[in-house]
Amino acid sequence: MIIAPSVLSIDFCNLNQQLKEVEDANAKWIHFDVMDGHFVPNLTFGPDILKAFRKMTDLFLDVHIMVSDPVFFADVFIDAGANMITFHYEACKDKEACIELARSIRSKGCKAGISIKPNTNVESILDIVNEFDLVLVMSVEPGFGGQSFIPEALNKIKKLKDVIVNNHYETLIEVDGGINQETGKLCKESGADVLVAGSYVFKNNIKDAVASLC
């Protein structure tokens, strides 16, 4: 299981120490939530902050862009050092636009992910899964940390897993929102490969919290 602690809940007054603890906890990824105040009602980080993280750590930078203009911001965050750009299905004009953006991201040497919000059916993306390195199932409404896990996400993970296994795809399944030891276990049993956790990791002992999710 890959654990991706979410920077949204990191203590920025204590950034160096917290990042070091994430590395010592053996988390391999760090999740970076970009919000534009339009696609979601919250505003977070720009590319200069990602550049600073790139200098500070060798962790895999998993960038989740919750923005209305994913085509523009994908390039901005690739240039800033992202290893993975995950954009929202709901922010694209249509499926062809999703595929076009994924191909563009991958052609620049970055991995591409697609995310679906809680009210989006997983069936909407099942036929384009092979275009992506990762599918991110949102288990809360995107925008804020600290919300409760929506159990319907588990059925989406199972359906995705079936398609991925049956077709021998290499696409990873990531889950984001309300992840703790219990919900993380349910996601793992349903077929998730990557767990994003913000408040659970940073409001507890980082090392213990990451270990409990593995």
Residues paired with 64 in a beta bridge: 33, 86
Question: Which stretch in 62-70, 73-81, 101-109, 125-133 sits in contact with Zn ion by CB under 5 A?
Answer: 62-70
Instruction: State the nearest-atom distance from the C-beta of 35 to ligand DX5, in Å.
Output: 7
Q: Does 64 sit near Zn ion (CB under 5 A)? A: yes
Please state, in angstroms and rounded to a whole number, the distance separating the CA atoms of residues 42 and 56.
25
Nearest by Cα to 175 from 189, 203, 18: 189
Stretches 93-101, 103-111, 154-162, 192-200: which one binds ligand DX5 (CB under 6 A)?
192-200
Q: Which does residue 177 bind out of Zn ion, ligand DX5, none, counting CB within 5 to 8 angstroms by kind?
A: ligand DX5
Smallest separation (angstroms) from ligand DX5 to the CB of 69: 18
Active-site residue flag, 79? no
Residue of 176, 179, 184, 192 interacting with Zn ion (CB under 5 A): 176
Nearest to 88 by CA among 205, 13, 176: 176
Window contacting ligand DX5 (CB under 6 A); options: 12-20, 83-91, 94-102, 143-151: 143-151
Residue 184 interacts with ligand DX5 (CB under 6 A): yes or no = no
CA atoms of 169 and 184, how far apart (whole Å): 23
Check: CB of residue 8 under 8 Å from CB of residue 34: no
Residues engaged in binding Zn ion (CB under 5 A):
33, 64, 176
Residues engaged in binding ligand DX5 (CB under 6 A):
6, 8-9, 31, 33, 64, 140, 142-143, 145-147, 176-179, 196-200
**Which residues are identified as catalytic?**
33, 176
